Amino acid sequence: MLKQINRQQREERILLSLKKCDYLTRSQLQVMHGLGSARNASRVMQQLGEYVSSFRDSEAVFYLNREGRERVGAKKVRKKSTTAQHYIMRNAVYIAFGCPATWRNEMRLGVKGKVNVICDAYFVRDKRYHIIEVDNTQKMTKNRSKVERYRKLISLGVFEQPPQFIWMTTTDYRRKQLLALCEGLDVKVFTAKDFI
């Protein structure tokens, strides 16, 4: 009986993680939920087959299917998608920073009528915003525009204290470009391989 309750609680936690994160790889689920070996994690996810769908992108990537969305009250419909890598990169940052309770995905920051930015995610720690941006296939001109809008928000006093920017990108070359764009800001730029 207790084993059954524990299993149901674990399933619920995994489904809620998928609701929050949209897409998670098998290895990300292993870390987040202490699923042990790759084999055990695969077994657990197979048991959740009624509620999740998956596809391969160097490893299994899971997302909620209709039954899973109904079970946890998720509204967003996710399918197999080429944009899933964007979410997986964002979720790597989420996990690396300890799955903060204040984490919010795709939020609008700004001053009405003046300037606003939709960040990929943010969390607040010690009254300080940590703004996450994922640069997967984005053109650098779009990144430049976003950084300029963030600078404007800072100058307008939107933040109690200057935020820390956390970028996730694909290559060391792009890391250097982002560091140059963000000169003078508190910024950390990671590549996907930093989290392997």
- For residues 46-83, one letter each, b for 16 or more C-beta atoms within 10 angstroms of the residue's C-beta and e for the rest, the string is eebeebbbbeeeeebbbbbbeebbebbebeeebeeeee
pLDDT attached to residue 41: 93
Q: What gap in Å lies between CA 7 and CA 161, rounded to an integer?
A: 43
pLDDT attached to residue 1: 53
The rounded Cα 74 to chain-centroid distance in angstroms is 16
**Separation in Å, CA 66 to CA 25, 26, 76, 138:** 19, 20, 10, 30
Q: How many CA atoms lie within 13 A of 15 on its CB side?
A: 24
Residue ranges of the chain with per-residue pLDDT less than 70: 1-5, 196
Query: Would you say the pTM of this structure is higher than 0.85?
Result: yes
Output the domain CATH number for residue 176. 3.30.750
Tell me which of 81, 112, 129 is where a domain ends.
81
Output the domain CATH number for residue 16. 1.10.10.10
pLDDT attached to residue 154: 94
Residues 109 and 187 in one domain: yes
Residues 150 and 184 in one domain: yes
Residue 77, domain member (yes or no): yes
Q: Range of 40's domain? A: 2-81
Q: What gap in Å lies between CA 78 and CA 65, rounded to an integer?
A: 8
Residue 86, domain member (yes or no): no
pLDDT attached to residue 3: 61
Residue 109, domain member (yes or no): yes
In tens, the pLDDT along 142-180 reads: 999 999 999 999 999 999 899 999 999 999 999 999 999
Tell me which of 49, 81, 113 is where a domain ends.
81
Residue 93, domain member (yes or no): no
Total domain count for the chain? 2
Q: What gap in Å lies between CA 150 and CA 145, rounded to an integer?
A: 9
Residues 72 and 127 in one domain: no
Residues 123 and 184 in one domain: yes
pLDDT attached to residue 14: 96
